[in-house]
Chain A
Amino acid sequence: MRDAELVAGILDGSVDFAVLWDEYWSRVYDCVRRMVGDAELARDLANCVMERANEQLARFDANKGSLWTWLHLKVRTVVIAYFRRPRLRTVSLEVLDGSREPTCEGPEQVYERAAVWRAVDGLPEPERSVLALNYHDGYSWDEVARLLGTSARTVRRLAMRGLSMLRGRL
């Protein structure tokens, strides 16, 4: 069944949303899992994506892209919202009572050691911002263009130059 027919059927009640769920859930889950790593968390977030898709299905426009592209935007929105949610700060008890120094390398140290991140941070502007907004912050090239008030082609050109520079620095 084509995307437009499937969505129209769900909206007019002739097709159950479960058809869409069965067709796309695994793909959504694989994509979320690749982004977050954890299987259980990915399952919860994939369910969240599908529930959001069900609520917002009337907004889908087949003329603007495929159903998978539309669902993928939902994946990105849900995952980014998850990573940006307010969280309690935690610290190990051994560190709190001073009886033991932390021995494990934290995310900051791993980040600092990673040559690729250092290389990105060493790029000149605007290439650095363009790559950081896409790879760190998860914005698409079109979204980066809107944020920076420029065209998508200019952003792609800057990204390609940035990647060329990175290659020379790694």
Chain B
Amino acid sequence: MAHERDDATDIDFNDAELDMFGDFTEAVQRCEHPDMEKYLARCPGSEAKMRPILEMALLMDSAVTQYRRKYPHVDLRKLRELVQKQRGKEK
């Protein structure tokens, strides 16, 4: 169901996890191909919680990169707004 909150809302993160996530995602976006295992090692005991999040961050970055490769001239922000408007009209 769209727009409903779910169990993930209850997950909380400590400062070390928040910093590690920020450093990892920024390194991914700077095209530095960071080693996920090294980042996970910064937060011992948090691997089970953090690994799926970092994997999802990689998937998101990959989706954006692939889309921009396929449509280098498309503004993703405007496209998203357009698709949302079309969806609104269909409802």
Query: Which residues of A approach B to under 8 Å, CB–CB?
Result: 27, 30-31, 34-38, 41, 68-69, 72, 83-84, 87, 107-108, 110-112, 114, 116-117, 120-124, 131-132, 134-137, 140-141, 152-153, 156-157, 159-168, 170
Is A141's CB under 8 angstroms from B68's CB?
Answer: no
Q: List 19 A-B contacts (CB under 8 A).
A: A35-B65, A38-B72, A83-B74, A84-B77, A87-B73, A108-B83, A108-B86, A110-B71, A111-B80, A134-B25, A135-B64, A140-B26, A156-B13, A156-B21, A163-B60, A164-B53, A167-B55, A167-B56, A168-B8
Q: Give residues of chain B (36-91) contacting chain A, Cβ–Cβ below 8 Å.
A: 52-53, 55-57, 59-61, 63-65, 67-77, 79-80, 82-84, 86
Contact with A along B1-28 (1 / 0, CB 8 A): 0111111110111010110011001100
Instruction: Please give, as numbers and ranges, the residues of chain A lying within 8 Å of B31 by CB-CB distance.
Output: 27, 30-31, 34
Task: Report the Cα distance A101→B22, complex, angstroms.
Answer: 46
Instruction: Please give, as numbers and ranges, the residues of chain B lying within 8 Å of A124 by CB-CB distance.
Output: 3-5
Query: Which residues of B approach A to under 8 Å, CB–CB?
Result: 2-9, 11-13, 15, 17-18, 21-22, 25-26, 29-31, 52-53, 55-57, 59-61, 63-65, 67-77, 79-80, 82-84, 86
Task: Report the Cα distance A43→B73, complex, angstroms.
Answer: 15
Is A31's CB under 8 angstroms from B30's CB?
Answer: yes
Task: Report the Cα distance A69→B29, complex, angstroms.
Answer: 11
Query: A108-B86, A122-B2, A161-B11 given as contacts; is B80 within 8 A of A166 (CB)?
Result: no
Instruction: Please give, as numbers and ranges, the residues of chain A lying within 8 Å of B84 by CB-CB distance.
Output: 121
- Quick one: closest B residue to A125, CB to CB? B3
Is A107's CB under 8 angstroms from B71's CB?
Answer: yes
Is B30's CB under 8 angstroms from A156's CB?
Answer: no
Instruction: Please give, as numbers and ranges, the residues of chain A lying within 8 Å of B71 by CB-CB distance.
Output: 107, 110
Q: Nearest 5 A-B pairs (CB), nearest first?
A: A37-B69, A122-B2, A164-B8, A163-B56, A165-B8
Q: Which residue of B6, B9, B60, B68 has the most chain A CB atoms within 10 A of its CB atom?
A: B60
Known: A83-B73, A110-B70, A160-B11. 7 other contacts (CB 8 A): A34-B65, A84-B77, A111-B79, A121-B80, A159-B21, A161-B8, A162-B8
Is B76's CB under 8 angstroms from A160's CB?
Answer: no
